[in-house]
Structure 1
């Protein structure tokens, strides 16, 4: 679970949509959001984004987590 720099879009009710993020010096554009869910781990509410993007010429699925209490983004699975 690596913390990442994220550019996201928020609507008026406060729902976030990831746009692109930086991981290991590479900027990755979030092309498709497959599913959005929520979970609670050790009392921390997190919003989970199952996404798909082209990374180095290959379509890859990955999971982004947004911690609601601290407003931090994490790359979970890639």
Structure 2
């Protein structure tokens, strides 16, 4: 898993998450639409790291997560746009 190359996907996803009283989100599972219009639900097994990033004035939280997908453990990156409250599956 160390050094695994992740492909940039940058797709919006439907997210189920919970928030701390301070407003910090914790992702639980998300739904992504594939090219063939089918939908896949992925449960987040573990959040490995959370970082903040600012691109062109847009503040984001970057969640590096891991899950078992199709019997294989995968690492992926989800981004949460603080201004628009949108979730993006950025890398997988």
* CA shift for structure 1 position 23: 1.2
**TM-score, normalising length: structure 2:** 0.83
Distance 1:30 1:41 in 2: 25
Higher strand share: 1
SS of residue matched to 2:21: coil
| 1:20 paired residue number | 29
Q: Which structure has the larger Rg? A: 2
Using structure 1 for the length normalisation, give the TM-score: 0.98
> Which runs of no fewer than 5 residues in structure 2 stay unpaired?
1-9, 34-38
Q: Which of 45, 57, 66 is the matching residue for 2:59?
A: 45
Q: Distance in 1 between matches of 2:50 and 2:76?
A: 12
Q: Equivalents in 2 of 1:3, 1:42: separation in Å?
A: 19
In 1: Cα distance, 2:25 partner to 2:89 partner: 15
SS at match of 2:61: strand
Residue deviations 1:6-47, cap 9 Å, x none?
Answer: 001101000100000001201100000000000000110000
Aligned residues: 78
Alignment-derived partner of residue 6 in structure 2: none
Moved over 2 A (4+): none
Q: What is the CA–CA distance in structure 1 between the aligned matches of 2:20 and 2:60, rounded to whole Å?
A: 18
Counterpart position of 1:70: 84
Partner of 1:5: 14
Structure 1 unpaired stretches of 5+: none
